[in-house]
Amino acid sequence: MSQSLREEISDLLSETKEDRFSCPADARKKAMDFLARREYGQAELVGKLTGKGYDREIAEQAIRELGDEGLQSDARFAESFVQSRVNQGKGPVRIRLELEQRGIEAAAIDIAIEDAGVDWHELAVGIRRKKFGAGRPADFKAKARQMRFLQYRGFEPDQVRAAVGE
């Protein structure tokens, strides 16, 4: 008798767990919890929900509904992401790559980078000065080092050349 009671309790507990992770309302609530902290792209948010155990279809449905209601927006995410990376001194190439890795469409990326209103040449110069000082590189080795640094940061070749004084 006690064996069947344990099995019955186990079955009830497993059903509750399955129901929670297949419930669109719970997935929506969890997504809202994530969005309350910061913006997320759709693909990133679906990944977070599936990582927490929600069914992919349920997670995608919940995120689509949040997007339809204007509570989640890839464009808004891209805009805030670009601004945060500019504040870190990252260039447009690296920002674009990171947004693509987060599942943001190319058109939304282009708009976010363009609307940021950043003078990329000026930013590259400022980042180089902050890291290496106001003076220009003394020799080829120093120049190459500074150029690699700026390329790693995600600046385009013309921005790198302008920053190191070519």
Domain spans of the chain? 2-72, 75-115, 120-164
Same fold, 2-72 and 75-115: yes
The highest-level CATH class for domain 2-72 is: mainly alpha
pTM (2 d.p.): 0.80
Residue 110 and residue 6: Cα distance in Å, rounded?
A: 58
- Asked if 41 contacts 74 with a C-beta cutoff of 8 angstroms, the reply is yes
- How do residues 66-76 score in pLDDT, each as one tens digit? 999 999 999 99
CATH code for the structural domain at 75-115 = 1.10.10
Token reading at 31: 């997504």
- How do residues 100-148 score in pLDDT, each as one tens digit? 999 999 999 999 999 999 999 999 999 999 999 988 888 999 999 999 9
CA atoms within 13 A on the CB side of 104: 28
What is the CATH architecture assignment of 120-164? Orthogonal Bundle (1.10)
User: How many Cβ atoms are within 10 Å of 46's Cβ, its own excluded?
Assistant: 23
